[in-house]
Chains A and B, each alone.
Chain A
Amino acid sequence: MERMTGAEILWECLVREGVTDIFGYPGGAILPAYDAMLKFPLRHVLVRHEQGATHMADGYARATGKVGVAVATSGPGATNMVTGIATAMMDSVPIICITGQVGSRLIGSDAFQETDITGITLPVTKHNYLVTRADEVASVVREAFLIAQSGRPGPVLIDITKDAQQSSAIFDWDAAAPSPSIVRTVPTPAESKMREALALIKAAKRPLVLAGHGLMLANATEDMRAFTDITGVPVAVTLLGIGCLPASHPNNLGMMGMHGEAWVNTAIQEADLLIALGMRFDDRVTGNLKTYALQAKKIHVDIDQAEIGKNVPVDVGIVSDVRDVLRTWKSSLTKLDLGEWNAHIKSLKGDSAVRDIQNMEDDGHLYAAHVIHDIWRATEGKAIVVTDVGQHQMWEAQYYHHETPRSLITSGGLGTMGFALPAAIGAKMACPDSEVWVVVGDGGFQMTLCELATIVQENVKINIAIINNGYLGMVRQWQEFFYDKRYAATPLLSPDFVKLAEAYGIDAHRVTTRKDVISTVEAARKHHGTVLIDFRVEQEDSVFPMVPAGADLHKMIRRPSPLAETGADR
């Protein structure tokens, strides 16, 4: 036990919690902490905007499961973090945001750079703290790490006043241990419910697993794989569930939902049992709830009690760690006779392959799907791909076939444009030996492109693929489908991205034809530093299939077939 300043206690606790990298931006109210930081074995990444710091911490956490840490000063520094915190909240990502606050005696006086950040972030954090004394720092930091990682993970914000950083207190790590009661114990699943669930599984003729992000958060992907290997139940994945089962696994049907595969959505509508594992029946996944999977009994396993029955009424709701549930089930599972069901699902694919843009005749245009497909081929599906939000995100989900968990990093729940570039920096810092690709639109890229400087300053090697179509593409697509092609505020002017990258000292290329894609991608992979590629793709292409918002899941808009149009097109 020794006397330390609040700032020193902060870093000491972080180091003891296993933190090695932090993402931040200094300022007045956090200066004492930054001054003390130099004495600790921490790599600090200077970001260009605090939103970037939160996304980097987020990407860092998603890539590894470790807690990501972002630091900012009070006032605008703190408010700039809000979008990143909300992003992490919606996708259950464990990050810790540390903000400086004005001196405790100035709180409430509208002091310079004062803002009520604990009040502002209350609905978008799992928990938050205002720390006004040095002797509170250790217990708060330890508690924050516990809360961020336990149960359903999420962001925690710690707001520390300047005087709490400057004044000193006795540091006692053991005495600062959080009370176990601070986190709710995860209930062991009730035996009766487990029996009911198993009975439903055994009796099912047309079962489907709906696999979500929770499987990765619970490190249960191997257990889920065992489940489908033993039973033969086919698996549909959510956007954030991509990677929880290798895309090449014969039971992996692919993505469900608004831009999911047509046969997957149809299979969901025809299933007699849905086994939902660590997913939350988001509106982008279900479409119209009134017509959603009406023939199916539903088993829902989630660690968050509030998710059970929230959107879809379930027959068996199990509030528990999904890994525990799968392991308990395992010994009772048997191979199900699903020949008919699997054959039916196969038949649902119908002419999907013909409609696939990959298989259409080369019309001389460069399509985003080609770019994604070629990046997948070049990287053999082994890269960590970080996407932004919009059309390119959906194309990535459709055409990059992920083989490993945590290899697709994307903002699902909040749909945060500007996420990709900073999140990729975080992911690369967390996994320096992995190949990291950013797939980003020309719109989202311009929201956080300031982090190009961070890449250069920190000497980070990533590859940036801008899917540049000159529009805010997904919004344009909605305008095309639902607003009579009135393109209000979606045509988008961009700078010359190649020159821009070069101004930052980043190697850059422009690709306008399909034949140049693979060679440019390969060259980027071999280059020692970050490379940016400006892919000029077809401007008015749309993502298919599409379930219009709120429509029935099986009523999808399909890409027009090159063969004779059929009634099934709408």
Chain B
Amino acid sequence: MLITYVLHVDDKPGVLNRVSSLVRRRDYNIESLTVGHTAEAGVSRITLVVDANPEAAHRIEANLYKLVHVLRVENLTEVPTVYRHLALIKVAATVDTRTQIMQLADVFRGRVVDVAPDSLMIEITGTDEKIDGLLEVLRPFGLVEVAKTGRLAMARGQGAQGTKSTSPDGSLADDHVDAAVSFSV
């Protein structure tokens, strides 16, 4: 199963290597990994997604704590969490298909961020499924280039140890926090 960890780590050279090496030496595949700064100076946030069974997940977590520069580890797998990806999609577009593509992007709440004579670039944030959905409908037009960030994750409400919560409109899957996500990216 996919296990999602959020790690708060010292922002120092080699820390990412230590984290990824710990997963590598146990021969697990990293499904995705994103790193960025947090609001706190000197602290980076790593979202790490690993395909592992729960036992192995526990072992990885316990070993992550042994790394000197790892400050905090949250396993969000069983916690209500907002997951987001950002994708940039360059799709072939002619005069005839351009409007059609833009309408599709609009349905998925994607934004056109670049227009060239023979292509469009669309920015989209959302869950895996949403981005895959857009890619599927764009495929017939010709995908020129696709870039995805990998999963970003944040526990809802008080965090992994805190109380459960829902988003303002009560749904668990929504787009309201997209803006916040794109800042971190």
Interface positions of A (Cβ within 8 A of B):
118-119, 122-123, 126-127, 130, 147, 181-184, 304-306, 308-310
Contact = CB atoms under 8 A, between A and B. Distances in A.
6 contacts: A122-B18, A122-B21, A126-B68, A183-B68, A305-B65, A306-B66
Contact of A305 (B18, B21, B62, B68): B62
A92 to B, nearest CB: 12
A158 to B, nearest CB: 13
B59 A304 contact: no
A123 B18 CA distance: 8
Interface string B1-17: 00000000000011001
B155 to A, nearest CB: 21
B17 A127 contact: no
B14 A182 contact: no
A182 B25 contact: no
A119 B25 CA distance: 13
Contacts of B21: 122-123
A304 B25 contact: no
A184 B58 CA distance: 18
Nearest to A308: B62
Given A118-B14, A309-B58, A123 B66 contact: no
A499 to B, nearest CB: 45
A122 B18 CA distance: 7
A127 B66 CA distance: 9
A122 B66 contact: no
B63 A306 contact: yes
Nearest to B18: A122
Contacts of A147: 68
A123 B58 contact: no
Contacts of A308: 62
A200 B60 CA distance: 29
B59 A306 contact: yes
Interface in B1-49: 13-14, 17-18, 21, 25
Closest 5 CB pairs of A and B: A306-B62, A127-B68, A305-B62, A306-B63, A123-B25
Interface in B53-94: 58-59, 62-63, 65-66, 68, 71
A310 B66 CA distance: 15
Interface of B: 13-14, 17-18, 21, 25, 58-59, 62-63, 65-66, 68, 71
Given A306-B62, A309-B58, A310-B59, A122 B68 contact: no
B21 to A, nearest CB: 6
Given A306-B59, A310-B59, A122 B65 contact: no
A181 B72 CA distance: 12
Contacts of B62: 305-306, 308
A123 B26 CA distance: 11
Contact of B17 (A122, A126, A182): A122
B65 A184 contact: yes
A431 B58 CA distance: 41
B103 to A, nearest CB: 50
Contacts of B13: 130
A290 to B, nearest CB: 15
B58 A304 contact: no
A304 B67 CA distance: 12
Nearest to B69: A127
A381 to B, nearest CB: 37
Contacts of A127: 68
A306 B60 CA distance: 8
B66 A304 contact: yes
Given A118-B14, A123-B21, A123-B25, A182 B68 contact: yes
Contacts of A181: 71
A183 B71 CA distance: 10
Contacts of B58: 309
A127 B17 CA distance: 13
Contacts of A183: 68
Contacts of B63: 306
Q: Which of A130, A305, A306 has the most CB of B within 10 A?
A: A306
B144 to A, nearest CB: 35
A182 B66 CA distance: 11
Nearest to B17: A122
Contacts of B59: 306, 310
Given A147-B68, A305-B65, 20 more contacts: A119-B17, A122-B17, A122-B18, A123-B21, A126-B66, A127-B68, A130-B13, A130-B14, A181-B71, A182-B68, A183-B68, A184-B65, A305-B62, A306-B62, A306-B63, A306-B65, A306-B66, A308-B62, A309-B58, A310-B59
Nearest to A154: B66
A182 B13 CA distance: 16
B27 to A, nearest CB: 13
Contacts of A123: 21, 25
Q: Which of B25, B59, B66, B71 has the most CB of A within 10 A?
A: B66
A417 B105 CA distance: 65
A119 B18 CA distance: 9
A123 B71 CA distance: 19
Contacts of B18: 122
Contacts of A119: 17
A134 to B, nearest CB: 18
A283 to B, nearest CB: 15
B68 to A, nearest CB: 5
Nearest to A156: B68
A543 to B, nearest CB: 31
A130 B71 CA distance: 20
